[in-house]
């Protein structure tokens, strides 16, 4: 019997702890994509730690982003835009307390230096200046599509609670705001693979740099999609 216990503990010790599977990736750099958390909350080496294997991880249901700042950030920390762009969607979960409003999110349209537009999904993030007041009866979410130009580093929301505090970060190319409001972070594993508009955030950001435009961006809604114009 003791023998079995020893085997059990040896096996257990082979499972890597969550804490040491995260490392500070090279994605976020002040000269390229900005850090999504305020420097006051964390430092360069810990702010954006992530586990790249969480993309398309199957936890009974598919996961279409990477989780940032695990164990390093706190509820209420500011979330910042990683480059200039336009907030195209804000969604606030209005059921339960704000600390549990994990399906709250901010969608920001950004542009790469090669002109590719994408929507970054800043998940588990309560948008600024949006409240649940006036919500229609029976509705769970306040959703807003007001277009708001943002600069790199500008605060776009604050982290809300979802398990260990972290931000869910996703990238979609060619998906509408409405599509992402409902399917922003998960997909049915039975489908086998995620919707084709999702990109691996690590691969995508490493392969691209932000549009060098420094002025405020504007947007235009055409055929169901936002188009970003940066001066």
Applying CB under 5 A, the residues found at the interface with Zn ion are 67, 168
Residue closest to Zn ion when measured from CB atoms: 168
Residue 6 tokens read as: 């020893």
Shortest CB 185 distance to Zn ion, Å: 6
- Taking alpha carbons only, the member of 83, 91, 109 closest to residue 171 is 109
Nearer to Zn ion, 66 or 217 (CB): 66
Shortest CB 63 distance to Zn ion, Å: 6
Nearer to Zn ion, 183 or 213 (CB): 183
Nearer to Zn ion, 63 or 80 (CB): 63
Nearer to Zn ion, 151 or 179 (CB): 179
Shortest CB 152 distance to Zn ion, Å: 23
8 A C-beta contact, residue 217 and residue 84: yes
Within 8 A by CB and 6+ apart from 186, the residues are: 61, 62, 63, 64
Distance (Å, whole) CA 211 – CA 131: 32
Nearer to Zn ion, 3 or 59 (CB): 59
The sign of the CA dihedral 197, 198, 200, 206 is positive
- Taking alpha carbons only, the member of 174, 152, 161 closest to residue 126 is 161
Residue whose tokens read 């580093």? 153
Shortest CB 140 distance to Zn ion, Å: 19
Shortest CB 65 distance to Zn ion, Å: 5
Residue 99 tokens read as: 């600390």
Residue 214 phi/psi, 5° resolution?
-110, -15
| Secondary structure of residue 33 in the 3-state scheme | strand
Shortest CB 122 distance to Zn ion, Å: 11
Residue 126 tokens read as: 């309560």
Nearer to Zn ion, 70 or 148 (CB): 70
């Amino acid at each position: 019997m003791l023998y079995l216990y020893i085997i059990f503990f040896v096996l257990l010790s082979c499972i890597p702890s969550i804490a040491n599977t995260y490392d500070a990736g090279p994605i976020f750099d002040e000269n390229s994509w900005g850090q999504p958390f305020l420097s006051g909350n964390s430092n360069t080496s810990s702010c954006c730690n992530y586990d790249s294997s969480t993309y398309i991880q199957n936890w009974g249901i598919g996961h279409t982003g990477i989780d940032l700042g695990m164990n390093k950030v706190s509820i209420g920390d500011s979330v910042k835009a990683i480059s200039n762009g336009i907030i195209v969607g804000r969604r606030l979960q209005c059921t339960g307390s704000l600390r549990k409003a994990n399906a709250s999110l901010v969608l920001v349209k950004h542009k790469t230096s090669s002109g590719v537009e994408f929507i970054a999904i800043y998940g588990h993030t309560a948008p600024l200046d949006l409240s649940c007041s006036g919500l229609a009866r029976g509705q769970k979410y306040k959703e807003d599509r007001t277009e708001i130009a943002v600069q790199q580093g500008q605060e776009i929301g604050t982290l809300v609670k979802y398990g260990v505090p972290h931000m869910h970060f996703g990238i979609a190319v060619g998906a509408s705001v409405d599509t992402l409001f409902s399917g922003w972070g998960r997909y049915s594993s039975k489908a086998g693979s995620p919707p084709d508009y999702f990109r691996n955030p690590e691969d995508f950001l490493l392969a691209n740099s932000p549009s060098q435009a420094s002025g405020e961006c504007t947007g235009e809604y055409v055929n169901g999609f936002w188009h970003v114009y940066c001066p």
